[in-house]
Amino acid sequence: MPDEDDLNPPPDDINLWLEDVEGPEALAWVRERNAETVAALTGGERFAALRDGIRAVLDADDRIPMIAWHGERVYNLWKDAGHPRGLWRRTTLESYRGDTPDWQTVLDLDALAEAEGENWVWQGATYLRTGPLGGEHRCLVALSRGGADASVVREFDLDALEFVKDGFELPEAKSSVSWIDADTVFVGTDTGPGSMTSSGYPRQVRAWRRGTAVADAPVVFEGSPDDVSVRATSDPSVDGRRAIVRQATDFFNARRYLLVDGALTELDVPEDAGVDIHREWLLVRVRTDWPVAGVTHPAGTLLITRLESYLSGDRTLTPLFTPDPHTSLSYAQWTRTGLILVLLADVRSRLELLSFADGEWRRQVLGTELGQTDVWTTNQDTDEQYLLLSSGFTLPPTLRHGVLGSAEGPTILKQGPPYFETDGIETRQFFATSADGTQVPYFVVGRPGAGPGPTLLSGYGGFEVSRVPAYNSIIGRGWLARGGTYVVANIRGGGEYGPAWHRAALRDRRPRAYEDFAAVAGDLVERGITTREQLGAEGGSNGGLLMGVMLTRYPELFGAIVCAVPLLDMRRYHLLLAGASWMAEYGDPDNPDDWAYLSLFSPYQNVRDGVPYPPTLITTSTRDDRVHPGHARKMVARLREHGKNVTYYENIEGGHGGAADNAQLAFKWALAFEFLWRTLAP
C-alpha cells in the first residue's frame, strides 16, 4: 500500500506551471525541448528517408479515396502534397467506380484557411436529412483551429457551394448539433456559465431557430454539471419529429429519452447498455447481465424489439447475437431495413448480414476470406447498400460494395496498392499467460525464423476499444520494410472479447491491463522473437498511460519507450480538460479509496531514483484539448529532474491526433522511428 505521503500528496507540484498551455514560460520550455530533439534526431539520411517515405504514402495519388454517402452522391476529403488541409469533394457512386472519377470540389480547405488567416482542420459535416430542403441541400461544417476537439460550426449550402450568409454559426467550442428541420437545429454549446459540464462538454440541449440568438433558444433538456455530456440527435428514419436525448452520467452510463413533438419519455433500458433506434426498431446491446421478463440476457448480447411494443410495456426481446468465450460483438450497423453485425472471434472479424422477412431475422454469414473487415458506411436513409473495408497487417485495403438481401455477395469497388515489401513477412497469433493465468492474445508481424531482432510492441487496453489487424502503411514503411517486427497486444481493458474483457481492467482492476502487456513482452523474449534490449513499446492517449506504467513499473522489460499524447498524472487528470469524463474508467483521485490504487501506478508520481529506465520519447500537441499537454510536459520535466534519458517533442498543431496534416504526421512518425532504430538497433 502507498504510504501516508502518497495518499496525501503535497499541493506544491513544482511543475504545475507547465500546465499553462500557452503560457510564455511553458512555451519557451517547449521550444527548448523541441530544438534539442530536432538537433539530435533529424540530421541524418535515415531520418530524411523515413520522413519522405512516410509522406509519400500519405500523399499517394493511388490511395483509395474513402467516401461517405449523402443523398445521391458520395463525398470524400482528400489530402495530398498540394492540398495539405484537404479538398472536400463529391461525385456519384457510378462515377466513383471508374478509374478516374469526375470529382466536383465542394470546399477547398487550404484556400479557405489562406483567405481567412486560420489554420483550419476539417472536423466533419452534419447533413440535413429531412424537411422541405431535404436531400443534399444544406449541412453544418465543423472546422477546428489546429486540430483541436473544439470547433467552429458554420452552415454550408450544398447547391451554391458556399457558406450561408447569416446562417447557423457557432464560435469555437465543443459543440453538438443535429438538424430538426431546414430552419431549426438541436444545439449544445457554450452559452455562458452553467451551459457546460465539468468535463467541458454541453450540459444543455436547445432548439435553435434560424435568425435567432443561440443563447435565446429554448432549453429542451438540461443535465447535471457532473454529467459528462448531454446531446440530442434527430432521427430521420421515420416520418414526423422524433429525437433521442442522451444524458451521459459518466463515460459508460447514460439515460436516454425519446423526444416526440416536445414530449420526453425516458427509455426503460439499462444505463450501461448501448441503445439505438432506427425506424420501428429498438436495439439494445447489453454490457452487464440483464434480467428482464423472466430471462437473464448475458453481457455482450444484442437484443431487438419493436419500439412501440416496448414503450407499451412488452418486454419480449429477440437476441440477435449471444457471445461465447471466444466471440464478441464489435458493433452493428443499419441499412435502411436490415442490420450488419461485425463480430470478433479471437480478434478475427466475421460479418453477419441480417434481413427481416416473414416475421423473423434471417442472416447471411460472410467468412474470414475477406480478411479483417469492417462496415465502412451504409446508405441507411435510402436503401440497402453498404460498403465493406477489408485489410490486414500485410494486406492492402479493399473496398467492397454490396446490397443487403441480394443473392450476390459484395463485389470489389476499389483496391489499394501495397506500399511496402511484404515478401517473407507473415502474421502469426500467439497467447501469453498473464499474472493471474488469463490467456492474452497478440499478433506478431514479421519474418519467422529470422532470430531475435528489433521489435515494436503496441497496445491500448482501455475504454472497450479493440485493436484488430489492419493495413498500416506508416508502420510498414518505417518499421516492417526495414526488418523490424511489429506486435499488437490485445490486452484487457479493450473490447476484443466483449464487455467482460473491458471490465476486467476497470478502475481498481486497471493493473490487469499492465500485467497483460508485461506478459506479452516477456513471451516475445521467451519465444526468441526479440531480446529485452531490442524490444520497444509504443502507445498513445490511454495507450500513453500504458507506456508510462511500463516505464515506471516494468522498466526492465524494454529497450525503448515511445509515449504519445499521454495521460500520466493520475492525481490531477480529472481537473484537466476532458479528464473528468474518464473517472468511470480510472476512478476519482479525490476519493481516498480510489487514490489508494491510482497512486500505485500513476506514472508521474512513480518516477524513482536508482532505477534504470529505458530511453524514452514523449510527444504531444499544444492544441490537444482532450488530453492536456501538461501530462507530457510535466512527466518530461520530472524524468529530467531524476536524470533519466528522455526526449520530447510537442507539435504546435494537431489536437489529440498529434498532427494537423500529412507533413506533420510524417515528421512525427519519422522522429519515433529514428529514435527506435537508434536505440534498438544502433
625-672 tens-digit pLDDT? 999 999 999 999 999 999 999 999 999 888 888 878 999 999 999 999
Question: The pTM is what?
Answer: 0.94
Residue of 83, 628, 631, 656 with catalytic role: 656
Q: Are 410 and 401 in contact (CB under 8 A)?
A: yes
Residue at 221 is within a domain: no
Task: Give me the chain's average pLDDT, please.
Answer: 94
| Residue 629 DSSP SS3 | coil
Q: Would you say residue 135 has pLDDT above 70?
A: no
Q: Would you say residue 552 has pLDDT above 50?
A: yes
In this prediction, residue 369 carries a pLDDT of: 64
Cα–Cα distances in angstroms (integers) from residue 478 to residues 326, 510, 661, 669, in the given order: 33, 32, 18, 8
> What is the average per-residue pLDDT within 39-46?
96
- Our answer to whether residue 656 is catalytic in this structure is yes
In this prediction, residue 407 carries a pLDDT of: 85
Element (H, E) at 83: strand 83-91
- Give the residue from 287, 273, 281, 283 showing the smallest Cα distance to 303: 283
In this prediction, residue 450 carries a pLDDT of: 85
Based on the number of CB atoms within 10 Å of its own CB, is 265 exposed (0-12), middle (13-18) or buried (19 or more)?
exposed
> What is the average per-residue pLDDT within 43-69?
96
Domain of residue 635: give its range: 4-55+419-680
Q: Would you say residue 8 has pLDDT above 50?
A: no
Cα–Cα distances in angstroms (integers) from residue 327 to residues 54, 159, 306, in the given order: 35, 46, 26
> What is the average per-residue pLDDT within 579-608?
97
In this prediction, residue 4 carries a pLDDT of: 37
Q: What band does 262 get if pLDDT is binned at 50, 70 and 90?
A: confident
- The conformation of residue 575, written as its DSSP 8-state character, comes to G
In this prediction, residue 586 carries a pLDDT of: 98
Residue at 612 is within a domain: yes
CA distance 146 to 144: 6
CATH of the domain at 599: 3.40.50.1820
Q: Are 121 and 660 in contact (CB under 8 A)?
A: yes
- The conformation of residue 298, written as its DSSP 8-state character, comes to P
DSSP strands (E only) in 210-273: 219-222, 229-234, 242-248, 254-260, 263-266
Q: How many domains does the chain have?
A: 1
Residue at 567 is within a domain: yes
Q: Are 3 and 618 in contact (CB under 8 A)?
A: no
**% of the chain residues with pLDDT over 70:** 96
Residue at 257 is within a domain: no
Residue of 328, 391, 541, 621 with catalytic role: 541
Q: Would you say residue 239 has pLDDT above 80?
A: no
Q: What band does 522 get if pLDDT is binned at 50, 70 and 90?
A: very high
Residue predicted with more confidence, 445 or 135: 445
Residue at 512 is within a domain: yes
Residue at 185 is within a domain: no
> What is the average per-residue pLDDT within 305-326?
96
> What is the average per-residue pLDDT within 84-90?
97
Residue at 186 is within a domain: no
Q: Are 277 and 267 in contact (CB under 8 A)?
A: no
Residue at 608 is within a domain: yes
